[in-house]
Chains A and B, each alone.
Chain A
Amino acid sequence: MEVMTMLPVLDQILNASQRQGRLSFYMTSYGEEGVVVGSAAAWENDDEVFAQYREVGVLLWRNYPLSSLMAQCFSTKSDAATLGRQMPVHYGSKEHHFHTISSPLATQFPQAAGAAYALKRTPGRENSCVVCYAGEGATSEGDFHAGLNMASVLGGALVFVVRNNGFAISTPTSQQYAGDGIAARGPGYGIDTIRVDGNDPLAVFLACKEARRRAVEGKKPVLVEAMTYRVGHHSTSDDSSAYRSLSAVESVKKLDSPLFRLRRYLESLPKPRWSTERDNAAKDSAKRAILREFSKAEKDKKPPLAAMFGDVFARVPEGAEREGARGGLERPQREQKEELKRLIEKWGDTPGWKKELAKFDGGKEAVSKW
């Protein structure tokens, strides 16, 4: 409940800061807290997660530091997940077994199938599972078909969780598929499938727990379709009132909130496990912690400019550098980095460049040491 309570607080702060121009982009999880956190609770902490982009709740569940989260969103020098190379919300953490998110939809489906096959052959990881999240829109991509079919034929413990929230940006499901949702496709691939009320965190938890058990014991994929509703806009670049009525959204918020449902349940227990006081305290402490990391990250420098050229290829091991691959860079990246250095030394004090250079760790001086 703490994590589910924290998620909208985080979303509210980061979404609002994007509206103020302090952050370049953001995507909220409004309305889908139950799917994401409910399912996260069903996995082991070292289950390998391949996500789409609306699953930060899994990371919060796994105690991903708020500082890392903010570092990614603000592209700071502490952003170990992407080194400032990817847009906000493209999190990743090897330590948390959360594979780095990429924007192209559905590419994670066959990758998850490969990872599940790998786990099957990794000594000590035979009881681990791969979890692959996506929205219902992404299931229209060819990679959904490829991934489910490959996983089914080749095996490996894998749970696909599809968040069916009714919309892919502006496209309602009526324009996404004509069949019976996503769950109806699972049996066609020979995959055990269940559809669950995504706004009921306990139902999601139980369905995912059983899905995981079957996946690990049977070394096979299981599909979970969680029915929910995308209460927020698609992203900060989207105004959803252009294609759906605000009153419809408001009614879902009031009538079918996963947060309220879990809260009511916990409050109604013979020995209540939640209360208004606890709720307020959880929100307050979340808000304080988030704002603390937010203001630190907002003031932080970007990574050194050199990071723009790194990791295109693997670093060449010390002492084994070839003629073309000095300094850990292959020839094109090395030469182009040298060219940028020349340009910065010549033009670095002109107004546009000077202002921008100052934002990077080490600024212009760091570049002159390249």
Chain B
Amino acid sequence: MYQAIRSALHTTLEKDPLAMVFGEDVSFGGVFRCTMGLADSFGEERVFNTPLTEQGIAGFGIGLATMGHTAVAELQFADYIFPAFDQIVNDAKYRFRSGGMFNCGSLTFRSPCSAVGHGGLYHSQSPEAYFLQASGVKVVVPRSPIQAKGLLLAAIRDPNPVLFLEPKILYRSAVEQVPTGDYELPLSSAEILREGADLTIVSYGPPLYTIETALHHLKHPSEELAPLIPESLRNLSVELIDLRTIVPYDIETVVKSVNKTGRCIVVHEAPQSGSVASELSAEIQQRCFLRLEAPVKRLTGWDTPFGLAYEKFYLPDHIRILDGIVETMRY
């Protein structure tokens, strides 16, 4: 996936003379290799290192964007967005507060997010929910290389500031044939990954793969799992939705699906309280009340900081997803 992101940045720099890519350590290629070779191809004035200051990077990006330049800023880990929180939440409201006279819409923040197996507290976080209330900033999370390139190009060209969160565990593990040309995937549009009639599962980023694993086990349980999974659920028809854009999210696709299936599970890595799952659950119960046959289940990280040694039991893994499916279907 890192190559797909690099390709999107290359396309941007090639086609948009006002575009710049900057952040901590992006010049030599970035700590995740997402900016490899870009400084050589486009020059140090367009692809450059900044001092180590997230609030500085965010403010600098806003300043570039208010002057109409395309700013693609990297924040090295999503865990380190918080020093820039004030700039992103208070000052990216440039358009609203200036009556539309000024804006920083040509600004995109890229930041690696989510668990990586051994990231502990500060290399594992999924901070998307903090931005649910930051009206004016869009938040996008891709699941794969094709998605990453298409959504990133759309994010960079979107006339609003966008926070583009890249699940770093997918940088090297997610591999697929990505079109070399220029293409975009729409923001604020969820994608139905598989159609189903009995249960809707909504997620984004890495848990989508865990859900696929869980669904495989549901259909073909191992000897150890079989006694815990009712026979009647073997051929459960599950509709799986990738939300893709977190703010503003595509409630229409989710509601249509839940109205059809009557049951819904939301899965993500971030903690539960005040989360995307909580937000979606509230919307779903409001819009699908008469169709719901079970409570909307939230399978998320626990409300604790991300402890290093506990990752297996912190994240919603395939076991928790199987349990969620069984509990929701037997309700």
A and B bind: yes
Interface residues of A, Cβ cutoff 8 Å to B: 48, 50, 79-83, 85-86, 90, 92-94, 99-100, 102, 104, 107-119, 121-122, 142-143, 145-147, 149-150, 153-154, 307, 310-315, 322-325, 330-333
Min CB distance B248 to A, Å, is 4
Cβ A143 vs Cβ B252 within 8 A: no
Is B301 among interface residues, defined by CB-CB distance under 8 A? no
Is B41 among interface residues, defined by CB-CB distance under 8 A? no
Q: Indicate whether A311 sits within 8 Å of B91 (C-beta atoms), given known contacts A104-B86, A154-B50, A324-B252.
A: no
- Chain B contacts with A in 36-58, Cβ cutoff 8 A: 45, 48, 50-51, 53, 55-58
Instruction: Determine the chain A residues whose CB is within 8 A of the CB of B20 once the complex forms.
Output: 121
Complex A-B: 15 CB contacts under 8 Å: A48-B67, A82-B97, A92-B98, A92-B99, A92-B102, A110-B53, A113-B59, A114-B60, A114-B65, A117-B63, A118-B64, A147-B59, A153-B50, A313-B138, A332-B248
- Not counting A99-B98, A142-B53, a sample of 12 additional A-B residue pairs whose C-beta atoms are within 8 angstroms of each other reads A92-B99, A102-B91, A110-B53, A110-B87, A115-B66, A118-B67, A121-B18, A121-B69, A311-B96, A315-B100, A322-B188, A322-B189
Is B115 among interface residues, defined by CB-CB distance under 8 A? no
A150-B84 Cα distance, complex, nearest whole Å:
14
A111-B99 Cα distance, complex, nearest whole Å:
19
Instruction: Determine the chain B residues whose CB is within 8 A of the CB of A118 once the complex forms.
Output: 63-64, 67-69
A301-B135 Cα distance, complex, nearest whole Å:
26
Please pick, from B65, B103, B188, the residue contacting A325 in the complex, using a CB distance under 8 A. B188
Top 5 A-B pairs, shortest CB-CB distance = A114-B63, A110-B59, A146-B56, A83-B99, A118-B67
Cβ B53 vs Cβ A150 within 8 A: yes
Instruction: Determine the chain B residues whose CB is within 8 A of the CB of A142 once the complex forms.
Output: 53, 55, 83
Cβ A311 vs Cβ B61 within 8 A: no
A265-B136 Cα distance, complex, nearest whole Å:
51
Cβ A143 vs Cβ B99 within 8 A: no
Is B62 among interface residues, defined by CB-CB distance under 8 A? yes
Closest to A115 in B: B63
Interface residues of B, Cβ cutoff 8 Å to A: 18, 20, 45, 48, 50-51, 53, 55-69, 71, 83, 86-87, 90-91, 93-103, 105, 135-136, 138, 158-160, 186, 188-189, 248, 250-252
Instruction: Determine the chain A residues whose CB is within 8 A of the CB of B97 once the complex forms.
Output: 82, 85-86, 90, 100, 102
Instruction: Determine the chain A residues whose CB is within 8 A of the CB of B83 once the complex forms.
Output: 142
Q: Indicate whether A149 sits within 8 Å of B45 (C-beta atoms), given known contacts A110-B87, A312-B136.
A: no
Q: Indicate whether A153 sits within 8 Å of B51 (C-beta atoms), given known contacts A104-B91, A111-B66, A312-B96.
A: yes
Instruction: Determine the chain B residues whose CB is within 8 A of the CB of A109 once the complex forms.
Output: 59
Cβ A314 vs Cβ B159 within 8 A: yes
Cβ B189 vs Cβ A149 within 8 A: no
Please pick, from A80, A107, A314, the residue contacting B91 in the complex, using a CB distance under 8 A. A107
Min CB distance B240 to A, Å, is 21
Cβ B105 vs Cβ A330 within 8 A: no
Closest to B89 in A: A104
Cβ B67 vs Cβ A149 within 8 A: no
Instruction: Determine the chain B residues whose CB is within 8 A of the CB of A149 once the complex forms.
Output: 51, 53, 56
Instruction: Determine the chain B residues whose CB is within 8 A of the CB of A85 once the complex forms.
Output: 96-97, 99
Min CB distance A263 to B, Å, is 36
Min CB distance B251 to A, Å, is 7
A307-B101 Cα distance, complex, nearest whole Å:
13
Cβ B101 vs Cβ A94 within 8 A: yes
Cβ B91 vs Cβ A111 within 8 A: yes
Cβ B105 vs Cβ A314 within 8 A: yes
Please pick, from B66, B102, B159, B248, the residue contacting A331 in the complex, using a CB distance under 8 A. B248
Cβ A110 vs Cβ B63 within 8 A: yes
A249-B331 Cα distance, complex, nearest whole Å:
74
Cβ B100 vs Cβ A93 within 8 A: no
Q: Indicate whether A100 sits within 8 Å of B94 (C-beta atoms), given known contacts A92-B101, A121-B45, A332-B248.
A: yes
A128-B257 Cα distance, complex, nearest whole Å:
55
Instruction: Determine the chain A residues whose CB is within 8 A of the CB of B159 once the complex forms.
Output: 314
Closest to A90 in B: B97
Instruction: Determine the chain B residues whose CB is within 8 A of the CB of A332 once the complex forms.
Output: 248
Q: Indicate whether A102 sits within 8 Å of B90 (C-beta atoms), given known contacts A110-B60, A111-B63.
A: yes
Closest to B159 in A: A314
Instruction: Determine the chain B residues whose CB is within 8 A of the CB of A116 once the complex forms.
Output: 63
Min CB distance A71 to B, Å, is 10
Closest to B188 in A: A324
A314-B65 Cα distance, complex, nearest whole Å:
14
Instruction: Determine the chain A residues whose CB is within 8 A of the CB of B56 once the complex forms.
Output: 110, 113, 143, 146-147, 149-150
Closest to A108 in B: B59
Q: Indicate whether A114 sits within 8 Å of B87 (C-beta atoms), given known contacts A310-B100, A313-B136.
A: no
Instruction: Determine the chain A residues whose CB is within 8 A of the CB of B138 once the complex forms.
Output: 313
Q: Indicate whether A324 sits within 8 Å of B250 (C-beta atoms), given known contacts A107-B90, A149-B51, A149-B53.
A: yes
Instruction: Determine the chain A residues whose CB is within 8 A of the CB of B66 once the complex forms.
Output: 99, 111, 114-115
Please pick, from B18, B68, B95, B248, the residue contacting A314 in the complex, using a CB distance under 8 A. B95
Most A CB atoms within 10 A — which of B60, B186, B251?
A: B60
A212-B51 Cα distance, complex, nearest whole Å:
24
A214-B18 Cα distance, complex, nearest whole Å:
26
Cβ A322 vs Cβ B186 within 8 A: yes
A79-B101 Cα distance, complex, nearest whole Å:
11
Cβ A115 vs Cβ B95 within 8 A: no
Min CB distance A48 to B, Å, is 7
Cβ A150 vs Cβ B60 within 8 A: yes
Instruction: Determine the chain B residues whose CB is within 8 A of the CB of A315 once the complex forms.
Output: 100
Cβ A107 vs Cβ B87 within 8 A: yes
Instruction: Determine the chain B residues whose CB is within 8 A of the CB of A102 once the complex forms.
Output: 90-91, 93, 97
A323-B116 Cα distance, complex, nearest whole Å:
35
Closest to B251 in A: A331
Please pick, from A82, A117, A314, the residue contacting B98 in the complex, using a CB distance under 8 A. A82
Most B CB atoms within 10 A — which of A85, A99, A110, A122?
A: A110
Instruction: Determine the chain A residues whose CB is within 8 A of the CB of B48 once the complex forms.
Output: 154
Min CB distance B204 to A, Å, is 17
A331-B126 Cα distance, complex, nearest whole Å:
24
Instruction: Determine the chain B residues whose CB is within 8 A of the CB of A146 once the complex forms.
Output: 51, 53, 55-56, 59
Closest to A111 in B: B63
